Structure 1
Amino acid sequence: MTARSPLPAPARVAARVPEDTRVYAIGDIHGRADLLADLLEMIRADAARAPEGRQVLVTLGDHVDRGDWTRHVVDMLLEDPLPGAELVTLKGNHEELLLRFLEEPEAVARLWLGNGGDATLRSYGIEPSRYLGLADGWQRMSRLFAEALPAAHRRFYENLRLHHREGGYLFVHAGIRPGVPLVEQTSETLLWVRDLFLSSEADHGAVVVHGHTVAWAPEERPNRIGIDTGAFMTGRLTCLVLAGEERRFLST
């Protein structure tokens, strides 16, 4: 994957999160449980120093694929990763492919496995190379995957949300279609959009916090903040911290 070079950040828009609320938003994890463990330690230390109040931990989707430890990533998020905080887990395009593989493997298998789904299968004990070339190879892999998935993991994937709002910030995986109300945004846009959203200078009615498109450093624009710093290939997993009008970043 080719990463976007960071652009110079213009003046900020004065967006706020609700009073007495601190938000921690984590970019695309992509199976890097090792980096997630390190980042969660930083977040917990930061939260312990913060004033009392509501805390929200948001993950922006693409928890799975590419890295070797997807199963462990999900386990960590199911184990109260930030005690006392609200946990909001969003859906990414990679989770969309994973779920479709369970239902219609032949339609998405090449796309999913070619974009890191093979690493996810291995994390659940399935070696894809054993079934490649077999007439029913995709179906067999899908069936074995369904059998290997713990019930809690299946629920995790199926219950991921498409968006979340906190005050002046909207959290989505990929972005939005400019000029379209949130209730009219399609799941395809929220999970897959790139240039139409990234190149827009429109006021979206909120600052959109997103992942999906890799940049070498967090990318702050007047109408959006991108925090996918390519953890699976760079070793940098990024968290955006929001409190009042404050914005800052934590990173591995």
Structure 2
Amino acid sequence: MKTVDFKHARGPDKLRVYAIGDVHGRLDLLQEMHRRIQAENEKSPPFDWVVVHLGDYIDRGLQSKGVLDLLVNLQKKTHRMLALAGNHDIGLLEFLDTGDAYGLFARNGGRQTALSYGININFNDPGSVYAGRKALADAIPPSHIQFLRGLRRSMVFGDFFFCHAGIRPGVDLDRQDPDDLIWIRWEFLENTHPHPKIIVHGHTPVSDVEVRANRVNLDTGAYASGRLSAIAIDAENKFFLEASV
């Protein structure tokens, strides 16, 4: 099996690829990152470019609705703004389907997401959860649901494989379990063996962008740290961007 290491990995010819880590409701940081990407493109114009958002757009931060509004509107305007699913994004859909008061959405920042749509849910009160689920379903624009349901689990550009959480080591990239791509953690993070592609991911917060020979972690805990991180891949060149407040 052919493998690659980060130092020698290349992006596609004539296409600069940006990837942005977990946003978690930080609309301010996402907007600033988009401005930084625009400035980078103006400073050094690429032949063409795309931006891959690595998922977890919602929960914990206060502006989940604003983040989804931005991404939905950008995708209407340009084919360059790509988006992958994160476990938190899927968690919202699952809550709307099941009303689970003990699931990911309920216990990991779902209250902030609901508040961004004007819905106050007390997840310790079954009555509030029951009513809040219906109210939230009514408050979320259909375009947001369509966006979330349409999110892909992975993308490939050149020598790089993009997903939210990581891959199952030893499994072909085209045979990965969709749940692993948004949920896997230590089996992937602790594996040091080379993969067929460099895995660019988020999901597990780190204090600084983590670059390993076989992967790059871009989740710098934006909702709490105030730092949103991205990578730019331009043929053999790789560099990093940060938006902070």
Of residues 223, 236, 239, the one that matches 1:248 is: 239
Give the 5 Å matches for 1:14-93: 14-80=8-74, 86-93=80-87
Question: Deviation at 1:110?
Answer: 4.6
Residue identity matched to 1:133: D
Write out aligned runs for 1:1-252 (5 A).
12-80=6-74, 86-106=80-100, 109-129=102-122, 132-134=124-126, 136-252=127-243
2-side partners of 1:85 and 1:50: how far apart?
20
Deviation, structure 1 residue 142: 1.5
Contact 2:91 2:103 in 1 (8 A): no
AA aligned opposite 2:125: G
1:138 Cα deviation after fit: 2.5
| Conservation of the 8 A alpha-carbon contact between 1:66 and 1:120 | yes
- Measure, in 2, the Cα distance between the counterparts of 1:65 and 1:84: 26
Shift of 1:82: 11
**AA partner of residue 18 (structure 1):** P
Distance of 1:48 and 1:79 partners within structure 2: 22
Q: Which amino acid counterpart does residue 26 of structure 2 have in structure 1?
A: R
Deviates more, 1:108-117 or 1:27-36: 108-117
Q: Distance in 1 between matches of 2:226 and 2:10?
A: 30
Q: 1:21 to 1:83 in 2, by over 3 A?
A: farther
Instruction: Indicate the SS of the match to 1:13.
Output: helix
Give the fraction of aligned pairs with identical amino acids, expressed as a percent: 38
RMSD: 1.8
Measure, in 2, the Cα distance between the counterparts of 1:150 and 1:201.
43
The answer to whether the 8 Å contact 1:55/1:85 transfers is no
3-state secondary structure, aligned to 1:237: strand
One-letter amino acid of the structure 1 residue matched with residue 35 of structure 2: E
TM norm structure 1: 0.89
Structure 1 gap ranges (5+): 1-10
Q: Measure, in 2, the Cα distance between the counterparts of 1:146 and 1:83.
A: 26
Q: Which residue is equivalent to 1:4? A: none
Letter in 2 for 1:243: D
Question: Quick check: 1:44–1:82 contact (8 Å CA) kept in 2?
Answer: no
Say if 2:12 and 2:235, in contact at 8 Å, map to a contact too.
Answer: yes
Letter of the structure 1 residue corresponding to residue 217 of structure 2: G
* TM-score where L is the length of structure 2: 0.92
Which stretches of structure 1, 4 residues or longer, exceed 3 Å deviation after superposition? 81-85, 108-111
Per-residue CA deviation, residues 70-115 of structure 1 (Å, 9 max, x unaligned), is 0001111123289755221000010111110010112x54532221
**Structure 2, gaps ≥5 residues long:** none
Give me the whole-angstrom Cα distance separating, in 2, the residues matched to 1:209 and 1:12. 10
- SS state of the match for residue 24, structure 1? strand
- Contact kept? 1:101, 1:109, Cα under 8 Å: no
CA distance in 2, matches of 1:227, 1:200: 17
Cα displacement (A) at 1:171: 0.2
Q: Give per-residue Cα distances to partners, 1:191-235, cap 9 Å, x unaligned.
A: 111110011112210000000011111100010000000001100
